[in-house]
Structure 1
Amino acid sequence: MVNVPSPAISIVGRHNSGKTTLIVKLIEELVARGHDVGSVKHHSHKGFDIDYPGKDSYRHREAGASETVISAPGQIARMKTFEGEAECSEIVRSMPGHDIIVVEGYRKSGLPTIELMRSGNEADQRVAEAFALGAERGWTLGTDFTQIAKSLFTSEGERIEGAEEALDGILCGDGGRSGQASVGETGAPQTAEDEKDDIHPDFEHKMPCAGTVAIVTDIPRAIEAAAAYGIPAIGLNDTAALADFVEKYFVRPRVTVVIQAGGESRRMGRSKATVPFLGRPLICRLIERLSPVADDLVITTNEPDNLTFLHREFPQLNIQLVCDMFTSRGALPGLYTALQAARNPYVAVVACDMVFASGSLVVAEALCMNETGADVVVPVNKHGFEPFHAMYRRMECLPAVRRALDRGEKRAQSFFGDESVDVYEFPQSKVLEAEPMGGCFINANTPDELHALEDMVMEG
């Protein structure tokens, strides 16, 4: 069983913006839609506890245990003592298997962030004004908006008279970057270094940034700024619209995983699906590695009767055994069968002899398809395309594959040049991000190769 990384997004804002209320509503909506949601709360003050004096687990930690796990039927909690603060990325990596993790805070985590600005919060109103003026002047979303905020407000948060006019001469078109001049409360130029001591706390590290993907707000000026930057502005109380946005771009997409088992392999001397690997049919290894990321699992084969044992072996998976639609052999006819059999819009197609097939790579490809809008996400390395560990958008690829078949094509990638299909080449660097151990595309064509891979698994 693989630990599939969970995609994550952060909801950020200033104190009293209403982050927790918004997140609770978002989680409720996503769960109601059938998604498995994890959550992380960033507690900004040092020290908190989920236990209290007198309980046995508390006594364990008081005695000096650096880590204590409290386990009960249906629940588990872990308390660990260490120096410093855990990185958000480490926390997210420790929470695999969720469709989405919603993080409260951790603005500097590197996660995509949704910025909350509420009209009832004065700090949010000041931030929205600075955000809007930056947008009007064409400063990039990565601008240090603390420069703008300093020019608009005193350190007590009072509006500076004539600040908008003074802004016209700021920064010489450099967008508020460090070391450029800005205007202080008296109108005299100051550098970013001069401003550090008297910047209002609302603005320090609490402004929209390059990682901001959406704004949730009821402030008109913030809505204007979001439009100028080309990012969506979602109504403060429109939980359904927020869930739609998160679901479309960040939730792990619904994926049909198709394992192409074919039939007798001439070089192997028998069916690859049923050839023994570490004492079990090879197809069982593929199912165990890929089923955790499959919302629907299909095996295409021309020997379905020989694979019915899989229903007994994996009764919980509702595996579909689908016969090849074409009598002619070839990779492209098999791909067409896979796309036709799938029940979900995203289809991961994997060959049954890929011993190190990766569920994590399947998820990474699906999220990439979400992000890019591509119709095919296919790994590319020095050997070329790897179409049998790739992701396909079902309805967009089916007609293009059919056209290629009608031309007599047999190779899987022969439809990639179709003008209706947008192909994203997934580089080796991203493959290794998803699966650091690599080896995803190694396959076994002969008994000797299979034995060598068995030895590799046993050794490592």
Structure 2
Amino acid sequence: MIDIPSPAVAVVGRHNSGKTTLIERLIAELVGRGLDVGSIKHHSHRGFDIDIPGKDSYRHRAAGASETVIAAPGQVARIKTVEDEVECSELVRSMPNHDIIVVEGYRKSGLPTIEIMRSGNEADCRAARLFVKAAREGLPLTTDFTQLGRAVDRAGNAAGRDGAGEVPGLGEMPGASDYSAAADAAAKMPSTNTVAVVTDIPEAEEAAALYGIPAIGLEDVAALADFLSEHYVRPRVTVVIQAGGESRRMGQSKATVPFAGRPLICRLVERLSPVADELIITTNEADKLGFLHDMYPDLTIRLVGDAYAERGALPGLYTALAAAENPYVAVVACDMVFASARLVVAEALAMHESGADVVAPSNKHGFEPLHAMYRKEGCLGAVHARTERGEKRVQSFFDDPAVTVLPFNQDRVLEVEPRGGCFINANTPEELARIEQSYLGE
């Protein structure tokens, strides 16, 4: 089992902002779209317990067990005593293989945060007024809003209940009647981690616009789900194994050449399918690979013929990109005996974090384009244009000014696969025999 790290976002706000209600509706919306959603709730009080007094598991813990697992068909729960509060990042790492994790609270976790401000909550209204004042004055989101809130309170108190005061950096402020407890509101304010504001308060909408942050209506859960799907949900990955056809140097199709007693393509399918949301094999010998459907009935394997009659790595890449239904496309040659699912995951994460169109392993000899990740939207047009010009090499489109290429250097590859060997391939029966002998001797 290959664990895929889960992306996470935090929904934050002041007490009674409606975080739990929003998250409940958001999770239902995301799940309704076919996504696998995890959730984390930050409980600010020490000593909460989810077990029930009198139950067997409760009795185990009461007797002194530091960790108890409760298991039943379809469910498992783990209750563990810890010395200090567990960091949110550690909790997220312990929850792999979700399309997204929605976190309630953990404002200071460093996660991207969705700020909620509700007009029915006075603390939110105070925060919104402070937020928009700071935005109008051009103060950065790195501003210490706690100190600013205290300054607002002091100015309001000095001006009297119906007067007005002057706050350095903010100009004239209304009196204390509008800004009492501003310091309390300022303790939980938007920051540089804020990626969207969910609100029905006009001042908060204005402030978000001034800071260039999307503002989403409090009741528009579908729009919030759209935003998360576009920017934070784990992108779906199509894995394409390029099997081509008959190899002259091998003397037969590399896909069906025996390796460890089975067709070589079986090894690639088994190594890469755990990280494939969609699995495609490009081949001009679909009739010879039909056995894969019988061998792997739980997998949906698509056999796709070449889009171009001309052979070549670049036309093959075009076929892969055109056939893929997902935004990220991992392309791997079928003769890479030690192809790495972990490398596919690492390349996808690097693409998601960097925004690159290509993430390709690189070393002093250049790129390894046939164990690389391609963004379909960013690459398809450029690959098509170069293919139409008669180019054959994949790297021929890497210099396209519209395409961003991120080299995934050797050190990063070794972090993922310390033993290396991901790019070892076989072009002749003799090479394959040596690789097989090494493999069987492991």
TM-score range, shorter chain: 0.7 to 0.9
Q: How far, CA to CA, are the matches of 1:49 and 1:339 in structure 2?
A: 50
Equivalent positions of 1:286-365 (< 5 A) are 286-363=268-345, 365=347
Deviations 1:84-134 (A, max 9, x none): 122212211221111111111112222111111112222222222222222
Specify the alignment match of 2:142 in structure 1. 142
Distance 1:358 1:24 in 2: 37
Give the direction of change, closer, same or farther, for the CA distance of 1:37–1:332 in structure 2 (3 Å limit): same
Closer/same/farther in 2, CA of residues 453 and 2 from structure 1, 3 Å limit: farther
Which has the higher mean CA deviation after the structures are superposed, 353-362 or 64-73?
353-362
Distance 2:193 2:7 in 1: 15
Q: Distance in 2 between matches of 1:287 and 1:88?
A: 35
**Deviation, structure 1 residue 348:** 2.2
SS of the aligned residue for 2:5 comes to coil
Deviates more, 1:57-66 or 1:4-13: 57-66
Q: Is the 8 A contact 1:347 1:394 kept in 2?
A: yes
Structure 2 match to 1:15: 15
Deviations 1:237-295 (A, max 9, x none): 11011000001001122332211123455666664434555665443343234323323
Cα distance in 2 for residues equivalent to 1:430 and 1:251 = 28
Structure 1 residues 139, 340: CA separation in 2 closer, same or farther (over 3 Å shift)?
A: same
TM-score by length of 2: 0.85
Counterpart mapping for 1:394-405 below 5 A: 394-405=376-387
| Structure 2 match to 1:194 | none
Superposed, 1:32-71 pairs within 5 Å as: 32-71=32-71
Change (3 A) 1:49 1:426: farther
Displacement of 1:40 in angstroms is: 0.9
Q: CA deviation at 1:65?
A: 2.5
Q: 1:397 to 1:152 in 2, by over 3 A?
A: same
1:214/1:232 contact within 8 Å kept: yes
When residues 363 and 207 of structure 1 are mapped into structure 2, their CA distance, relative to the original with a 3 A threshold, is farther
Structure 1 residues 337 and 254: CA distance shift in structure 2, 3 A: same
- The answer as to 2:10 corresponding to 1:6 is no
CA displacement, residues 135-183 of structure 1 (integer Å, 9 cap, x when unaligned): 222222233222222211369x97976776322389xxxxxxxxxxxx9
SS in 2 for 1:344: coil
Give, as a single letter, the amino acid of the residue that structure 1 aligns with 2:166.
E
What is the aligned partner in structure 1 of residue 232 from structure 2?
250
Give the partner amino acid of 1:425. L
Q: Percent identity?
A: 64
- Structure 2 counterpart SS, 1:149: helix
Q: 2 CA distance for matches of 1:301 and 1:245?
A: 37
2 CA distance for matches of 1:75 and 1:451?
Answer: 42
Q: TM-score, normalised by structure 1?
A: 0.82
Unaligned runs of 5+ in 2: none
Q: Structure 1 residues 201 and 295, CA, compared in 2 at 3 Å: closer, same or farther?
A: same
Q: Is the 8 A contact 2:361 2:410 kept in 1?
A: no
Indicate yes or no: 2:244 matched with 1:262.
Answer: yes
Aligned to 1:447: 432
Residue 372 and residue 71 in structure 1: after superposition, are their counterparts in 2 closer, same or farther (change >3 A)? same
Task: Compute the RMSD of aligned alpha carbons.
Answer: 3.4
Distance 1:153 1:58, change over 3 A: same
Q: 1:29 to 1:272 in 2, by over 3 A?
A: same
Instruction: Give the distance between the partners of 1:208 and 1:429, measured in 2 at CA.
Output: 39
- The match for 1:240 is 222
